[in-house]
C-alpha cells in the first residue's frame, strides 16, 4: 500500500459513513430513543476541518448515508435483524429527503451523497461509479460505527484495490473496546491516522 503522503489529493476523497441527523442530532431517531455516545457526537466537529482542507487541494467529499426505503404507506423496509436490534425505528426515520436522513449541518453539503441500505458504502450503491467517473483512487474514511459501516466499507475498498486511510479517532462505536478491537483487526487492510495527523498531511501538501 502506498503511503497517504504520496497520494495525489485531486484523486482522493474523504468518505464519511452515516454522519446524519437520525444518528447524531438530539431530534433524530436515535436521539429520541436515548441511543447515542459522546464519542459519536464528537465526530463531525473533528472531521469538518479535513473536509475543508481536502477541498482546498482539489479533493472531494462524499457522504454515505444509511437509508430506510419507504414501503407501503410509508412504513420503512427494515431488515429483520435491524428491527430486532432497533425496535424504535419507525415511519419517516432515515427516509430519503427527510431531516433525519440529511448529513449533519457542519458537514453539509457534501460534493456527493450516496444512499446505502446496508453496512458497506459500496454494497448496491453508486459509490464505485462516482469514484471511477472522477478518477478517484484513494479514500480517507471516517464515521460510524467503527465495527459496522466503517469496517465493511474499508474491507470492500480493499477488495477493489482502492487505497484507504482510516481516521482512527474520526470513527466511533457505541463501546470503546469494540472500537479499539476493530482498529486492530483492520491494520492489515488500511492505513490509520488520527484526524490531527491527517489534517497536518493535507495542510502541508
Structure confidence by residue, pLDDT tens digits, 129-150: 999 999 999 999 999 999 999 9
Average pLDDT of 72-81?
91
| In contact, 120 and 66? CB cutoff 8 Å | no
pLDDT at 55: 98
pLDDT at 31: 95
Average pLDDT of 146-167?
98
Structure confidence by residue, pLDDT tens digits, 170-184: 999 999 999 999 999
Question: Does the pLDDT value for residue 1 go beyond 90?
Answer: no
| In contact, 184 and 192? CB cutoff 8 Å | no
Secondary structure of the chain in HEC code, one letter for each residue: CCCHHHCCHHHEEEEEECCEHHHHCCCCHHHHCCCCCHHHHCHHHHHHHHHHHHHHCCCEEEEEEECCCECHHHCECCCHHHHHHCCCCCCCCCCCCCCCCCECHHHCCCCEEEEECCCCCCCCCCHHHHHHHHCCCEEEEEEECHHHHHHHHHHHHHHCCCEEEEEEEEEECCCHHHHHHHHHHCCCCCEEECHHHHHHHHHHC
Structure confidence by residue, pLDDT tens digits, 21-76: 999 999 999 999 999 899 999 999 999 999 999 999 999 999 999 999 999 999 99
pLDDT at 45: 98
Structure confidence by residue, pLDDT tens digits, 181-197: 999 999 999 999 999 99
Residue 205 pLDDT level (bands cut at 50, 70, 90): confident
pTM: 0.97
Q: How many whole angstroms separate alpha carbon 60 and alpha carbon 202?
A: 13
Pairing of strands 60-66, 112-116: parallel
Cell of 104: 449533519
Amino acid at each position: 500500500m502506498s503511503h497517504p503522503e504520496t497520494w495525489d489529493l485531486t484523486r482522493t476523497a474523504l468518505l464519511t459513513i452515516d454522519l446524519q441527523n437520525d444518528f447524531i442530532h438530539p431530534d433524530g431517531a436515535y436521539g429520541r430513543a436515548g441511543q447515542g455516545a459522546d464519542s459519536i457526537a464528537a465526530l463531525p466537529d473533528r472531521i469538518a476541518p479535513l473536509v475543508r482542507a481536502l477541498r482546498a487541494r482539489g479533493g472531494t467529499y462524499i457522504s454515505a448515508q444509511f437509508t430506510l426505503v419507504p414501503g407501503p404507506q410509508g412504513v420503512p423496509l427494515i431488515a429483520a435483524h435491524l428491527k430486532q436490534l432497533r425496535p424504535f425505528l419507525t415511519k419517516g426515520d432515515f427516509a430519503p429527503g427527510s431531516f433525519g436522513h440529511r448529513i449533519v449541518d457542519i458537514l453539509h453539503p457534501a460534493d456527493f451523497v450516496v444512499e446505502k441500505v446496508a453496512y458497506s458504502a459500496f454494497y448496491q450503491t453508486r459509490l464505485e461509479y462516482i469514484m471511477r467517473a472522477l478518477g478517484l483512487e484513494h479514500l480517507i474514511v471516517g464515521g460510524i460505527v467503527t465495527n459496522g459501516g466503517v469496517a465493511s466499507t474499508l474491507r470492500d475498498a480493499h477488495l477493489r484495490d482502492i487505497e484507504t486511510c482510516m481516521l482512527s479517532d474520526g470513527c466511533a462505536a457505541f463501546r470503546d473496546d469494540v472500537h479499539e478491537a476493530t482498529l486492530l483487526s483492520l491494520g492489515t487492510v488500511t492505513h490509520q491516522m488520527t484526524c490531527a495527523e491527517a489534517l497536518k498531511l493535507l495542510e502541508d501538501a
